[in-house]
Chain A
């Protein structure tokens, strides 16, 4: 069995966990919820095992490197981060509703990695610029941060959902945590994510400096990570010093996550070097 087989299976395990979380939430079935946690943990174990095996396989191919070097590998790692962060929260707050969001998100991430025709799951050797330990520190910290922002995004959506009927005592909305709890959780996740975003940008800058002699070059990816950083810094200041709570924080958290997604995927759509060459003809 190779890592890609395991990782494809993980896609379905996450999907099944998501189904169980949603089922438990909609129909108030605690047994399904318990099972969902077990399935999610199993999926995470498979996710970790898949990454580990890919690492070993890359050595067997003769150019061993940490499996964090291309879009496929980063997506797989991202899905693991989302699930791990969610499971920690589930344990700490004894509430499973967020799983109805995060497990499907992890499943989608894995599905995109495995199924998109534009993403190759081949293990490729590292090009010279990527041969740096800073790369590993950079990718790991960025994606832990992105994972926290992703879960915060889900919690913010729930906040807005809950707000439509804050006094509901039962039903899907009633089973959501209180508005205060959702707001507090969003904040904690963002604080955690912000620290990792800082470390991620900084390790990226140090790496760029060791490879190209400049720590900052305003290339679109760098700039978008900075835009993301500005958005979350705004959120932290608004909450901390101007007392913003609730809906406005939820909106900022959603905007912040949109910026994260754009940093991650959207930058490739921008008129970069490639379309510029077309333009100058």
Chain B
């Protein structure tokens, strides 16, 4: 039973045959046929969610597929397919499958996996294809004294057994590598458990913060509900820089974390470098500009030629000098039009001359002389205005991430061990043949036969060289 070459041990269920249904269920979940079916079902059904855009507006779906098909897809949950009940059931089944199968295998193979002193059978080595040999003049007893300490350093569980004309020495390596595949299976379970923890105890939301503003509530991505954070986030500054090509180079938000109104942490975040505070992570995800509400305007009086500079706020009325009336800034319009022509960003305002009718004034930011064409008593221009940005932050908490990351590490280690390492057993057979001693090294492994072959050749070479 301990030979590594034999993988297909007779199947026994680990559970005592307690009764019909549990037994049948255990057998079902211990079966690899189920695994193949589940893996292929997951592969095929996953395709659907890539063909149908997920989580869009119902109206868009109706427009694309028509009402009847929309209803049918809706019932099947195809618009949020990866969270639909049947997809989750497939995943849970896979998880149960991998757990039951592994437990079943470990318990029925425990004699191979957990044995302390393996029992080696000489017969199993006698006709293995992988062998290397040489002759030595010294008698077996002398060789045994030489080989035993050397081999004990190179292999584990070394045992010596006398034979008719000499001795046999057995040893093994890498029994633990048999756990590699269970490590992979455990990692799959950890990924799913970590994902579950995240979806039960975490949240995923977003918030836009205008420069200078402070927020404490975010919007949750999947439900649209509002969530109050245990601290407030203030955006002190946002900047975006561009390459010469016009492609964005960096988005940077300077954020402060406030507790009870007091700043406790200050950090600049950029994409790929978030801020983490009290288990909550804040990521740079988007940005935009806000309608500016402040500008510095210049008023040029036609009669005197004097220029007056005034700070103006949207909505506030400012009295003009030289009794020219009043001016009220109404809004900043992106892509403004003037008599049907696009003029880009422009402030719109109302000029009310003394005793006259109010008049709408368009002040394109890019053309400071624009208003002179109106030939009014006063020409108005935008001297300066600061565009205000808001930063789009992704705010989330995922207490399952650590579990998932442990799963990642175990999956990589487990796959490496499973694929590239093996459990190897080696037999050194030493026999007196007339005046000489024949030494034969043979070996076997549960996989990766090429590696055993190399190992046997190296071992035979090393033994031949021992003095």
Contacts and interface: CB of A to CB of B under 8 A. Distances in A.
B79 to A, nearest CB: 12
B281 interface: yes
Interface in A196-211: 198-199, 202, 205-207, 209-211
B245 A242 contact: no
Interface residues of B, number: 53
Contact of A128 (B40, B60, B270, B398): B270
Contact of B39 (A124, A131, A216, A233): A233
Interface in B373-387: none
Contact of A195 (B42, B49, B401, B416): B416
Interface residues of A, number: 50
Interface stretch (A9-17, A43-51, A150-158, A222-230): A222-230
A279 B65 CA distance: 10
B428 to A, nearest CB: 28
B49 A237 contact: no
Given A210-B272, A234-B40, A270 B50 contact: yes
Nearest to A195: B415
A209 B245 CA distance: 28
A279 B51 contact: no
Contact of B412 (A131, A202, A223, A270): A202
Contacts of A231: 39-40, 43
Contact of A276 (B53, B204, B404): B53
A30 interface: no
A205 B394 CA distance: 17
B272 A194 contact: no
Given A214-B204, A218-B54, A125 B247 contact: yes
A212 B419 CA distance: 33
Q: Which of A227, A231, A242 has the most CB of B within 10 A?
A: A227
B272 A215 contact: no
A206 B412 CA distance: 14
A215 B243 contact: no
A230 B243 CA distance: 41
Contacts of B33: 242
A238 B49 contact: no
Contacts of B405: 206
A227 B39 CA distance: 9
A132 interface: yes
Given A128-B272, A131-B271, A224 B243 contact: no
Contacts of B46: 223, 226-227, 230
Interface of B: 32-33, 35-36, 39-40, 42-43, 46-47, 49-54, 56-57, 59-60, 63-64, 82, 195, 204, 243, 245, 247-251, 270-274, 281, 283-285, 394, 396, 398, 401, 404-405, 408, 411-412, 415-416, 419
The 4 closest A-B pairs by CB, nearest first: A230-B43, A280-B60, A128-B271, A220-B50
6 contacts: A128-B251, A195-B416, A199-B412, A213-B283, A234-B36, A270-B51
